[in-house]
Amino acid sequence: MQVYDVEIGSRLWLGSARYPSPAILAEAVRGAGCDVVTVSLRRENAQAGAGQAFWALIRDLGVRVLPNTAGCHSVKEAVTTAQMAREVFDTGWIKLEVLGAGELLQPDVFGLVEAARLLSDDGFQVFPYTTADLGVAERLLDAGCRVLMPWGAPIGSGRGLADPFALRALRARFPDIPLVVDAGLGLPSHAAMAMELGFDAVLANTAVALAADPVRMARAFADAVCAGAAAHAAGPMPVRDFAEASTPVIGQAWRA
């Protein structure tokens, strides 16, 4: 897939938070063949130099780093965090999160569009964490985004694709825009379902990091993503309201 004119080989992206250890994170990334890893600025401290060992580990993996503005609840906070991340990680890529209040950590779509426009004007390549709303998607694209990351379900919920209809409509409305399902995936089957809908990639974090065996789960997600993408490319059969025999009755033996 092409994202901001960069070719990405893997359609499974991984978050880097909550793993039992940096070594297990590294093994999971390698096992999944992942090309993109999201990293929060909160893992780094530019002044004190804390977190440099973690940053060195990420660099050694040879992956593309996608810094995020996780935990930001205002436009100002998100923009400032993005600008700091560009300095720390030396990349213009930013996964933009502007969260609303409440337990669902739902994107604040009004603040998100405003922040996306400010960052795009500042030269960032913005990856917005958004809902699957078509109107919001239009405004994010108008703001300069060239990729969209709609949620499957609330962050860390593991509920899978809460609204497949909305995701299917988003894919149909924007056939040429890279779409990455972000947040809420709990099982490899959820990832496969997203790919079967025609999405370009999925981002998983909690489902892998908190598994009893994160490395095995990362590999399972990678297999599921490949299977789902292949199924979409193969062209799934249409859904019917009634049964249709798979064995033809013509030529079948019968007695009068």
- Do residues 8 and 178 touch, judged by C-beta distance below 8 A? no
> Cβ contacts of residue 122 below 8 Å, gap of 6+?
79, 83
Instruction: Give the per-residue pLDDT at 57.
Output: 85
Q: Would you say 37 and 61 are in contact if contact means Cβ atoms under 8 Å apart? A: yes
Strand, helix or coil for residue 253: coil
Residue 45 in marked binding region: no
For the stretch 135-142, contacts whose Cβ atoms lie closer than 8 Å and that sit 24 or more positions apart, written own/partner, are: 136/109, 136/112, 137/170, 137/173, 137/174, 139/113, 140/112, 140/113, 140/116, 141/174, 141/177
Asked if 11 and 1 count as a contact pair (C-beta separation under 8 A), the reply is yes
Grouping H, G, I as helix, E, B as strand and the rest as coil, residue 175 is coil
Rounded average pLDDT per 10-residue block, the chain, 256 residues: 93 95 95 94 54 78 94 95 93 96 88 98 98 97 98 94 97 97 96 98 97 98 98 93 79 67
- Assigned superfamily of 2-234: Aldolase class I (3.20.20.70)
76 included as an active-site residue: no
Contact 75, 99 (CB under 8 A): no
Q: Which among 122, 130, 142, 13 has a CA at the least distance from the CA of 66?
A: 13
Cα first-last separation, the chain? 60
Q: Which pLDDT belongs to residue 7?
A: 95
Q: Which is the catalytic residue, given 19, 44, 65, 95?
A: 95
Check the annotation: does 206 bind a ligand. yes
Answer yes or no: is 205 a known binding residue: yes
Q: Which amino acid is at 56?
A: A
Strand order in the sheet with 201-204: 149-150, 125-130, 93-96, 64-68, 36-40, 12-15, 201-204, 180-182
Strands of 10-134 (E only): list them. Answer: 12-15, 36-40, 64-68, 93-96, 125-130
Distances (CA, A) of 33 to 119, 173, 226: 30, 30, 11
pLDDT at residue number 79 = 97
* Residue 49 labeled ligand binder: no
Give φ, ψ of 161 to 5 degrees.
-95, 100
Q: What pTM value is reported for the model?
A: 0.91
183 is in an annotated binding site: yes
